[in-house]
Amino acid sequence: MGFRVKVAPGVRVSTSSRGLRASTGGGAVSAYASLGARRGRPSAVGRSSVAAHEAELRAGTGLDGVDAARRAQAAFERQLDAYREQFPPIEKPVADVQRIDAEAHVLAAQLEAVARISHLRPRRRRAARDAAAAAARAEAEREQAEAVRAQAAHQAEIDVAWQRLIGNDPAVVLQALEEAFEDNEVPAAPIDCADGWASVLLRCPPLDGIVPTHMPITTPAGRETVRAYAATRRNDLYLAALLSRAYATVAETFAIAPGVAGVTVLTVSVGRGELTPIYCAEVTREEFAAGAWLSDGAPCPAPRRLLNLRGRVREVAALDLAAESQLSDVVRRLARDLGVTVSPETKLTAPRGPAASAGGT
């Protein structure tokens, strides 16, 4: 199929406290922060993972087990609802001008000027106040003029950064996306921007890290208990969560990078020292806006995607990349950057030589 995905020269992917990070190695540019790519989100502090609640469930019995199952279900539903988050398109900021309070300057200067003059010498006090007021107003005017010049310089930086962002300058787009993804609950990292397309890496935990093994239920007799999910149902829910995460990441990419015409998102699972590619999709901005990735209001597999559902229970399995040489090279590069191996279930093309092994995809 030939997916538009690669790792940009100089980009290295690593793990961080958030789970995933891409670094260009070129250092930050101060104007990037002025674009306001970083979006505030509700804090994830205190939100335990599905795996943590599952451990409680295995250790607990009775009502304690039901409570753990409820919390695991709530944690999972946050994953399912990731696609519902709204990402307003970024707008070019306007630099603020510092407003100098001239009257406050005058008052402070006058108080200081008469502090050592006796109240018995009103003429001298009046003259001192007048002189101090004139000097303070002149200083305030100078400070205000300097603030206007500083605002103009800052706005010029913003204008340059904005033009580079909408013009798809790879360094600016990657930096803006990296800052935007940094506070995501779902670990993601931009890895390339070229020819109007952005490549984004998404890290998804394995099945047991997302989907609970049990659901809380109430029996016909009114007793609260838990019931195990059927294997097929768990796999379907895992795919739904995976698609929800991918959809939200693509939505944020389009919002933060207004010049990007399309996004390729590669989703991998990393565990036990192995990296497994499990989903790859690409979508244009127009297709995304038209809802081509939605069915009945929820994310469905994108029009162009790689997805391997194995067996009767529809297990999300490693991708077959035997016909995808560029994507195979990307997977090898990512595994090397993360210090893991590619899972043996993943089918890859043969390495294309020294350039591929060096990451020149």
Q: Looking at the chain, how many residues does it have?
A: 361
Calculate the average pLDDT of the chain.
Answer: 86
Q: What's the predicted TM-score (pTM) here? A: 0.82
| Percent residues over pLDDT 70 in the chain | 85
Number of DSSP helices (H) and strands (E) in the chain, helices first: 11, 16
Classify 298 as helix, strand or coil: strand
Comparison of pLDDT for 30 and 81, the residue scoring more: 81
Residue ranges with strand state E in the chain: 12-14, 21-23, 188-194, 197-203, 214-218, 224-228, 262-271, 274-284, 294-295, 298-299, 304-306, 309-310, 315-316, 320-321, 341-342, 347-348
Please choose, from the candidates 51, 297, 26, 29, the residue with its C-alpha nearest in 3D space to the C-alpha of residue 162: 29
| Percent residues over pLDDT 90 in the chain | 66
Residue 254: predicted pLDDT: 97
pLDDT tens track for 327-352:
999 999 999 999 999 999 999 999 87
Q: Is 343 within 8 Å of 335 (Cβ atoms)?
A: no
The mean per-residue pLDDT over the stretch 47-60 comes to 52
Task: Please report, for the chain, the start and end positions of each structural domain, with discontinuous segments joined by +.
Answer: 12-87+166-357, 102-156
Q: How confident is the model at residue 293 (pLDDT cuts 50, 70, 90)?
A: very high
Q: Quickly count: other Cβ atoms within 10 Å of residue 52's Cβ.
A: 14
The span from the first CA to the last CA of the chain, in angstroms, equals 16
Residue 64: predicted pLDDT: 60
Classify 193 as helix, strand or coil: strand
Q: Is 69 within 8 Å of 53 (Cβ atoms)?
A: yes
Cα–chain-centroid distance for residue 339?
A: 22
Residue 49: predicted pLDDT: 56
Comparison of pLDDT for 360 and 354, the residue scoring more: 354
Residue 29: predicted pLDDT: 45
Please choose, from the candidates 315, 316, 294, the residue with its C-alpha nearest in 3D space to the C-alpha of residue 303: 294
What radius of gyration do the chain's Cα atoms show? 28
Res 42 pLDDT > 70: no
The mean per-residue pLDDT over the stretch 2-25 comes to 83
Q: How confident is the model at residue 189 (pLDDT cuts 50, 70, 90)?
A: very high
Comparison of pLDDT for 18 and 38, the residue scoring more: 18
What is the rounded CA–CA span in Å between residue 137 and residue 157? 30
